[in-house]
Amino acid sequence: MSRLLPHPLLSLALAAMWGLLNAPVTPATALLAGLVGWLVPFVMRLLRPGAVRVRAPGVILRLAGTVLVDVVRSNIDVARVILGLNAGTRRTGFVSIPLDLRNPTGLAVLSIIVTGTPGTLWVQYDSGTGRLLLHVLDLTDGDAWVRRIKDRYERPLMEIFS
């Protein structure tokens, strides 16, 4: 049964949701709901990531502390910008950062850190060149942002996932 229906609860939930979203249920929508409920789990199986080997648990804790401090600081900085306390000095912009990190899981964690930190946004990553395009709400020095991302986040992530 698992080869023909790898995730029966997911299939049932998808088919039911499809039926609810396409009410009233007709024979055609019921057939399509069954087809979606049956096919999507096969696609999901292909998207399952490989096993991740994490090293350096001490580095993980240090990185988590760094991220926590940076998020609090960024919240304060963004609040100052929103309240107009940095009037006239704010300049938004983009920074291109050359990354040495190539591990997909490490890159995913880096994207979560960068986007989860107020005032920064992961815009694009070019896997061919390893360059990250980052949008910064209050950009004063692009080189400082490059050093900050590489030293505070990329280096520990390389220790953890390499």
Which residues lie closer than 8 Å to 127 by C-beta, 6 or more apart? 102
Q: pLDDT value at position 115?
A: 92
pLDDT-derived band at 7, boundaries 50, 70, 90 = confident
Q: Per residue in 117-152, pLDDT tens?
A: 998 999 999 999 999 999 998 888 888 899 999 999
The answer to whether 130 and 96 have CB atoms below 8 angstroms apart is no
DSSP state of 89: T
* DSSP run (H or E) holding 93: strand 93-98
Tokens encoding 35 = 């087809």
Which of 23-27, 48-52, 72-76 is the least confident region? 48-52
Q: Per residue in 67-110, pLDDT tens?
A: 999 999 999 988 888 887 766 666 889 999 999 999 988 999 99
For residue 124, the cross-strand partners are: 133
pLDDT-derived band at 64, boundaries 50, 70, 90 = very high
40 has a pLDDT exceeding 70: yes
Q: Phi and psi of 125, rounded to 5°?
A: -130, 125
% helix, strand, coil for the chain, step of 5: 60, 10, 30
Q: Cα 13–18–23 angle (5° rounding)?
A: 130
